[in-house]
Chain A
């Protein structure tokens, strides 16, 4: 008996839908319950980030970078600061480098917790979401004592930080890590090795490494496909080469290499590695003045620069053209979530309707960054 093909039905998911993680519209062509085409339609959160940056001075750009990937603002600040510093050839003090890495890795944990928690929610597990949000809350509290804000920090400035660590910050981070590391085992028991979760994610939405590379997918999504590529190791910026940590890659433990479960699990292991980096950085934290290298006026020389950093979602890069004035001539941001979303249409063909949600969740996109 042959397969009977009916007419394709067009179905819209979003723009307001709980599992699109923002305002995203998916135009889905379905054949029964089988997906034959997915077209993501973006732009609902467009705020003219790049154009706007051409009208404000270099230090005023930082609050705007916060609002691109609002889940991991520290990493956005970090990438921007590193780029301008490379253009202006500023050498920042050792203490600043250490503090930057501590906050960036803390924010990576917070971002992964949100990604994993909402992923559980997408595939129908409610409890882990609450557990992970509870722990993310503790990181946000740490940031609140650090700079007053919970999500949009404006903390890492070009040439330094807005201010030094508060008293007892190091101890509170240590006690957070002591609390947090055993919790990863708990998440594993609760969600990672849950049979229903594995059935929903293993072997689903396999992203082969060649496809990932040709689409420019980076970060945990690429590593989930078994490619060991991490800017922190392969093109080290700041002082990431001083620390000892591993880059987890997907091994197809529950199914095929590059399936949803692998992408999920890479993030889980990455949190452990981030905790490792934070511990080393806290132990080596030198004394110093965080304002020492702050430039009086940010006026980079004529020229352009492209610099990439590893945000929780992958290769976050800034391209900046300077004409010697205090205002950027052109600023382009390479957003890792954008490339991750572009691969969705490719890998969700032939899967069921409910699998598209699982695949989308496993790509961990942030629409604020895609639309900018």
Chain B
């Protein structure tokens, strides 16, 4: 009999103990401590420009972006991708390091490298991408990167991209010109 009432007493007192903790938190409630109304309000992204000893490292995971004018078509990013969601097609240009305004090709990257290849296709399927960031590290021209954060001067952050059609998640970065035009500038030697 004693045990029965003791159990009831312990149960109630431990519930009250728990309740007192929740009450304490409720009284100490501060602004910003409550649910955010998501699409209207957002959590602040953690500060990104915190600086690393190696400044070139980019630590944000968001949508990938390619500055196609800087891309030399070395395929390093395509090879390293574990899910093979980057597809690049390149052809050898007749002249090395020359602008070809007709097909929107720039000859020299912003790092000063002369481009020998025309990138005619550069697709990234963001629905397959696993955001592992592996493609970002090996790029010699630092032209493939995740948007926002340390790169926000290059491209604003974009991490909420949804589409009605799956195919719209394939981002095409190469200049949209037809193959005939490109073939004019392709090196004849390799054929």
Contact = CB atoms under 8 A, between A and B. Distances in A.
**Most chain A CB atoms below 10 A, which of B46, B81, B131:** B46
Contacts of B61: 148-149
Interface in A145-168: 145-149, 152, 154, 162-164, 166-168
Nearest to B146: A148
**Most chain A CB atoms below 10 A, which of B57, B58, B132, B134:** B132
A108 B21 CA distance: 26
Interface residues of A, number: 35
Interface string B127-167: 00011111001000000001001000000000000000000
Interface in A88-137: 127
B7 interface: yes
A63 B134 contact: yes
Given A164-B52, A189-B18, A196-B11, A148 B132 contact: no
A332 B62 CA distance: 31
Given A154-B132, A154-B133, A154-B134, A194 B14 contact: yes
A186 B50 contact: no
A189 B7 CA distance: 17
Contact of B82 (A56, A148, A190): A56
A5 interface: no
A145 B50 contact: yes
Nearest to A154: B132
Contacts of B146: 148
Contacts of A64: 82
A167 B50 contact: yes
27 contacts: A60-B134, A61-B82, A62-B132, A63-B82, A66-B132, A127-B18, A141-B46, A144-B46, A145-B59, A146-B59, A147-B133, A148-B61, A148-B149, A152-B131, A154-B132, A154-B134, A162-B137, A163-B52, A163-B54, A163-B57, A164-B54, A167-B50, A167-B52, A190-B18, A195-B7, A195-B11, A196-B14
A243 interface: no
B149 A167 contact: no
Contact of B47 (A60, A145, A163): A145
